[in-house]
């Protein structure tokens, strides 16, 4: 019998647990502690409220303590921080932040959903009052007030993750000049370096100034201005700075109570989301999860998993015994007009796990249109698909304008079901001209993957073609002559694909032919002709367009 459940944290994971728990158990006493002033707010909406897309502050609140009481009979205690857990005697100590008073509350079950906290490294000058992090409602109010009351023209965003990018866009929407500084060689860690170049290009087009491979060494004041000083010496004049360089899990409470935590401070849970203590569960940003694709332990702080974990824990508390099977990190972000999405493992992850391209995994890269080309508004997306040598799908990254979220969700669904590229090509998806093509973009990724896997198409990647042995290979451009004006790869010979059958004798059979076209289809067709005529041929996947974008 469950009599009393305490929940630490009143937002994504915590409030979800509370609501579900009440639905499955009308009688339990449920107390939800939240150290902040607000519960159930839309963390993910905060940048858009700052930018003005979300107009009403009220829209950010999905629940209030009063409404949670009325609907779910939950005792919500805001500004109440759980400061310690006594797991032996099953009680917590709570500090009422309004009064400073500390009190005890016993439990039968305790659920931890304390979330995470933005990292604020000890960079000189970081405590200035025009430097902000964005994590909760008070942060949002502070940023918004600063923007509304000061004459802010130049903003520097530090960190090119989800939040940094969303903030860059929202600051731009407010008409500000925006710098984005990122320590790595790319923004948006969920996608690989090559795909990230599409984002960099788009952001640059919008006028965002990107500073990659560059950390902040200090924040300095001069003539009433703050300057962000970068490691390479660049000084960025900034009326305001947004810090979003990463987060760390709020695992101290658990750790101090003697619960198992990992190196990064994340709370360790079993497949039922139970901590090392039998009465304590944990969910959300603060927990270590299993990578659904590769089985390793990882931390994936996202709202979808937090919400679903909350529901599972509620079920488990009432005895339903439901497993959480892992997180694959499906994610999406709007980057101005672009949509950037990923699911499963990217190449960086595969490589970190010691997997080798061509030996352990292969890549298909296609650029199909979002819907039927003859129906207005069709626009290409780039799909990078990683699969193992048996065809099992490991991950995907998609960047484009329309229908990107749809395709990543379809692939995420396949990954969840252990699907292969053969499943992908067979998928029967909804087709009418405004929505897709008779062969959907994901089918295309599947077809191309199959061709790669069964050897019908040998491929060369953007970072391989320049390294090929120039003595023993020919670079063959199969685009129409006029397309050469858009640029070409140095040293390429041009034979348009439609003339290839007639002019094939111009090519030396002893050399390897590295074929390319604009996006890869004609190159593929040419490579088919060549190989069947006894040539060794490889097709540059992604074509010249992708090559140019990545290699520049």
Ligand X SMILES: CC(C)(COP(=O)(O)OP(=O)(O)OC[C@H]1O[C@@H](n2cnc3c(N)ncnc32)[C@H](O)[C@@H]1OP(=O)(O)O)[C@@H](O)C(=O)NCCC(=O)NCCS
Active site residues: 44
Task: Out of 4, 120, 355, 439, point to the residue binding its own copies (CB under 8 A).
Answer: 439
Sole window of 18-26, 296-304, 522-530, 532-540 interacting with ligand FAD (rule: CB under 6 A): 296-304
H or E stretch including 349? helix 347-352
> Toward ligand X, which CB reaches closer, 180 or 540?
540
* CB 41, min distance to its own copies, A: 9
How many residues of this chain interact with ligand X, rule: CB under 6 A? 30
Three-class DSSP category at 254:
helix
Q: Which of the listed partners (its own copies, ligand FAD, ligand X, none) does 440 bind, with a CB threshold of 5 to 8 Å by partner kind?
A: its own copies
Query: Is residue 361 a contact partner of residue 388, using CB atoms and an 8 Å limit?
Result: yes
Q: How near is the Cβ of 458 to ligand FAD at its closest, in Å?
A: 32
- Considering CB distances under 5 to 8 angstroms, the limit depending on partner class, which of ligand X, its own copies, ligand FAD, none binds residue 459? none
Closest separation in Å from C-beta 374 to ligand FAD: 12
Binding mask 46-85 for ligand X (x = CB under 6 A): ----------------xx----------------------
Q: Output the CA angle 322-324-329, nearest 5 degrees.
A: 155
Residues β-bridged to residue 362? 387
Residue nearest to ligand X (CB): 520
163 near ligand FAD, judged by CB under 6 A: yes
Helices (H) and strands (E) in the chain, counts: 15, 30
Residue with tokens 């005895």: 319
Question: Would you count residue 507 as binding its own copies (CB under 8 A)?
Answer: no
Among 51, 114, 159, 164, indicate the residue that binds ligand FAD (CB under 6 A). Answer: 114
**Using rule CB under 6 A, residue 284 touches ligand FAD:** yes
Do 547 and 539 contact (CB within 8 A), yes or no?
Answer: no
| Alpha carbon separation from 24 to 62, 72, 73, 317 (Å, rounded) | 21, 11, 13, 10
Burial readout 446-482 (b: 16 or more C-beta within 10 A, e: otherwise): bbbbbbbbeeebbbbbbeebeeeeeeebbbbbbbeee
Could you say which DSSP state residue 147 is in? H
Smallest distance from the beta carbon of 497 to its own copies, in angstroms? Answer: 7
Q: Does 428 bind its own copies (CB under 8 A)?
A: yes
Binding segment toward ligand FAD, per CB under 6 A, in 179-187, 205-213, 300-308, 473-481:
300-308
> Is residue 280 part of the contact set for ligand FAD (CB under 6 A)?
no
Cα–Cα dist 480/488, whole Å: 12
Three state DSSP letters for 273-313: CECCCCCEEECHHHECEEECCCCCEECCCCHHHHHHHHHHH
Q: Which of 307, 332, 401, 435 binds ligand X (CB under 6 A)?
A: 307
Phi first, then psi: give them for residue 274, nearest 5 degrees. -90, 140
- Cβ proximity of 526 and 537 under 8 Å: yes
Nearer to its own copies, 45 or 265 (CB): 45
Q: Minimum distance from CB of 391 to ligand FAD (Å)?
A: 26
- State whether residue 428 is helix, strand or coil: coil
Q: Please give the residues from 24 up to 83 whose contact with ligand FAD meets the rule CB under 6 A.
A: 33-36, 43-44, 46-47, 81-82
521 binds, among its own copies, ligand FAD, ligand X, none (CB under 5 to 8 A by kind): ligand X
Q: Is 304 in the site for ligand FAD (CB under 6 A)?
A: yes
308 binds, among ligand X, ligand FAD, its own copies, none (CB under 5 to 8 A by kind): its own copies
Instruction: Tell me if 8 contacts ligand FAD by CB under 6 A.
Output: yes
What is the distance between the alpha carbons of residues 171 and 173, in angstroms, rounded to a whole number? 5
Residue window 417-456: x/- pattern of binding to ligand X, with contact defined by CB under 6 A: ---------------------xx----x--xx--x-----
Question: Which of 428, 360, 414, 356 has its CA nearest to residue 383?
Answer: 414
448 interacts with, out of its own copies, ligand FAD, ligand X, none, CB within 5 to 8 A per kind:
ligand X
**Rounded Cα–Cα distance for residues 522 and 74 (Å):** 62
Please enumerate in sequence order all residues whose Cβ is within 8 A of that of 236, keeping only pairs 6 or more positions apart, or say none. 154, 156, 179, 181, 211, 227, 228, 229, 230
Q: Smallest distance, Å, CB 444 to ligand X?
A: 5
Binding stretches for ligand FAD (CB under 6 A): 8-14, 33-36, 43-44, 46-47, 81-82, 113-115, 134-135, 162-163, 250, 253, 284-286, 301-304, 306, 431-432
């Amino acid at each position: 019998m469950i009599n009393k459940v305490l929940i630490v944290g009143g937002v994504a994971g915590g409030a979800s647990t509370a609501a579900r728990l009440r639905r499955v158990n009308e009688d339990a006493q449920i107390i939800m502690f939240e150290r902040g002033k607000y519960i159930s707010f839309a963390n993910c909406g905060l940048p858009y409220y700052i930018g003005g897309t979300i107009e009403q502050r009220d829209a950010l609140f999905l629940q209030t303590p009063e409404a949670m009481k009325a609907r779910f009979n939950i005792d919500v205690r805001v500004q109440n921080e759980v400061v310690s857990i006594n797991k032996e005697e099953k009680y917590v100590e709570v500090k009422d932040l309004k009064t400073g008073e500390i009190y005890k509350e016993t439990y039968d079950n305790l659920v931890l959903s304390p979330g995470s906290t933005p990292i604020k490294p000890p960079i000189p000058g970081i405590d200035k009052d025009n430097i902000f992090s964005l994590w909760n409602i008070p942060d949002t109010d502070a940023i918004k007030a600063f923007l509304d009351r000061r004459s802010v023209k130049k903003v520097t965003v530090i960190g090119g993750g989800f939040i940094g990018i969303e903030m860059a866009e929202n600051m731009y929407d407010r008409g500000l000049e925006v710098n984005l500084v990122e320590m790595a060689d790319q923004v948006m860690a969920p996608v690989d370096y090559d795909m990230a170049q599409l984002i960099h290009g788009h952001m640059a087009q919008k006028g965002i100034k990107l500073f990659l491979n560059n950390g902040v060494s200090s924040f300095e004041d001069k003539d009433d201005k703050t300057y962000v000083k970068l490691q390479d010496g660049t000084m960025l004049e900034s009326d305001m700075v947004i810090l979003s360089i990463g987060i760390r899990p709020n695992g101290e409470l658990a750790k101090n109570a003697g619960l198992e935590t990992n190196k990064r401070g994340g709370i360790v849970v079993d497949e039922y989301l139970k901590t090392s203590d039998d009465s304590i569960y944990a969910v959300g940003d603060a927990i270590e999860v299993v990578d659904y694709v590769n089985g390793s332990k990882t931390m994936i702080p996202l709202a979808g998993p937090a919400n679903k974990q909350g529901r599972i824990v509620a079920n488990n508390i009432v005895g339903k015994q439901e497993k959480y099977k892992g997180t694959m990190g499906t994610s999406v972000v709007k980057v101005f007009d672009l949509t950037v999405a990923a699911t499963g493992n990217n190449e960086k992850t595969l490589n970190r796990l010691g997997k080798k391209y061509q030996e352990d995994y292969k890549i298909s890269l296609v650029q199909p249109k979002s819907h039927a080309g003859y129906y207005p508004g069709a626009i290409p997306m780039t799909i990078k698909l990683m699969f193992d040598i048996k065809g099992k799908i490991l991950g995907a990254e998609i960047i484009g304008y329309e229908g990107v979220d749809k395709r990543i969700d379809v692939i995420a669904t396949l990954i969840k079901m252990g699907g292969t590229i053969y499943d992908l090509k067979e998928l029967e998806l909804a087709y009418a001209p405004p929505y897709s093509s008779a062969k959907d973009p994901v089918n295309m990724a599947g077809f191309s993957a199959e061709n790669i896997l069964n050897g019908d198409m040998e491929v060369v990647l953007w970072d391989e073609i320049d390294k090929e042995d120039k003595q023993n290979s020919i670079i063959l451009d199969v685009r129409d002559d006029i397309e050469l004006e858009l640029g070409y790869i140095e040293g390429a010979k041009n034979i348009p694909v439609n003339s290839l059958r007639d002019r094939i004798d111009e090519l030396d059979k002893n050399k390897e032919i590295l074929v390319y076209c604009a996006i890869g289809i004609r190159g593929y067709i040419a490579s088919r002709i060549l190989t069947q005529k006894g040539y060794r041929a490889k097709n540059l996947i992604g074509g010249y367009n992708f090559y140019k974008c990545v290699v520049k």
